[in-house]
Amino acid sequence: MDDIAPIAKGAEAEIYATHFLGRDALVKVRSPKRYRVSGLDSEIRSFRTKNEARLIREARRAGVRTPVIYDIDLEKFSITMENIRGTKIKDKLEQNPSSATDICVMIGEAAADLHNSGICHGDLTTSNMILTEDGKICLIDFSMGKTNAELEDMGVDMHLLKRSFVSAHPDLSEAFSRLMKSYTETKNEPEKLLRKIEEIEGRGRYT
């Protein structure tokens, strides 16, 4: 594995381009946070690293496109994974809004497939989705996800997704309705979930 410069830096992690057994790969490293007590900080980084790798694999088993995990290093709090070639959905929707409907149909299906398998993503936004070169949606950044997710967790996923659309893509409300339609068509027992989302939205209005 040869280290190169970081290609992305988020709130909790840095992403570096690398190679793994000759394959094009990325390594996601969770850096220490000084504002956390050191023992607790290691625990959180370790939990999120393991959780993310586990959820990425579980999601793939559920038929949702996610990066292949090549390696986990709990001393470095890092995950080496497949480098997904493509465009971040957030950028794609900004650059090419006419592609929004087709993309939103795929996002709705991917979210429903995930939820039908009892998995919630935990940070379902258009920044955590990549449109692959072969035109599929790949989900990334599962560190806040859960298996055995409850209705509440799934409702929060969809609520956050809606909020991320309203703030990042305010002109795409029709495409978002299309997303919810394809979600509802794919999701088992969608009525319960739709009621839960309304309840969550209601809470937001009165707090």
Ligand X SMILES: Nc1ncnc2c1ncn2[C@@H]1O[C@H](COP(=O)(O)OP(=O)(O)OP(=O)(O)O)[C@@H](O)[C@H]1O
Active site residues: 123
Burial call 78-97: b when 16+ CB within 10 Å, e when fewer:
bbbbbbbebbbbbebbeeee
Strand, helix or coil for residue 70? strand
Binding mask of the shown chain, residues 85 to 104, with x at each position contacting ligand X by CB under 6 A: ---x----------------
- Could you tell me if 133 and 112 are in contact, meaning their C-beta atoms sit under 8 angstroms apart? no
* From the list ligand X, Mg ion, none, partner contacted by residue 156 (C-beta under 5 to 8 A by kind): none
Q: Is 13 in the site for ligand X (CB under 6 A)?
A: yes
* From the list Mg ion, ligand X, none, partner contacted by residue 108 (C-beta under 5 to 8 A by kind): none
Report the distance separating Cα 78 and Cα 13, nearest Å: 9
Site for Mg ion in 135-174 (CB under 5 A): 141
Q: Is 141 in the site for ligand X (CB under 6 A)?
A: yes
Minimum CB distance to ligand X, residue 119 (Å):
16
Report the distance separating Cα 130 and Cα 85, nearest Å: 8
**Residue found by looking up tokens 């990425």 in the block:** 56
- Could you tell me if 175 and 161 are in contact, meaning their C-beta atoms sit under 8 angstroms apart? no
Report the distance separating Cα 185 and Cα 105, nearest Å: 10
Which of 81, 89, 106, 149 binds ligand X (CB under 6 A)? It is: 81
For ligand X, the closer of residues 10 and 63 by Cβ is 10
Ramachandran angles phi, psi of 116, nearest 5° = -65, -25
* Alpha-carbon distances of 85 from 18, 29, 141, 148, rounded to whole Å: 14, 19, 15, 30
For Mg ion, the closer of residues 48 and 187 by Cβ is 48
* From the list Mg ion, ligand X, none, partner contacted by residue 111 (C-beta under 5 to 8 A by kind): none
Size of the site for ligand X (CB under 6 A): 21
- Closest-approach residue to Mg ion (CB): 141
What are the residues binding Mg ion (CB under 5 A)? 128, 141
Interface residue list for ligand X (CB under 6 A): 8, 10-13, 15, 26, 28, 67, 81-84, 88, 123, 127-128, 130, 140-141, 143
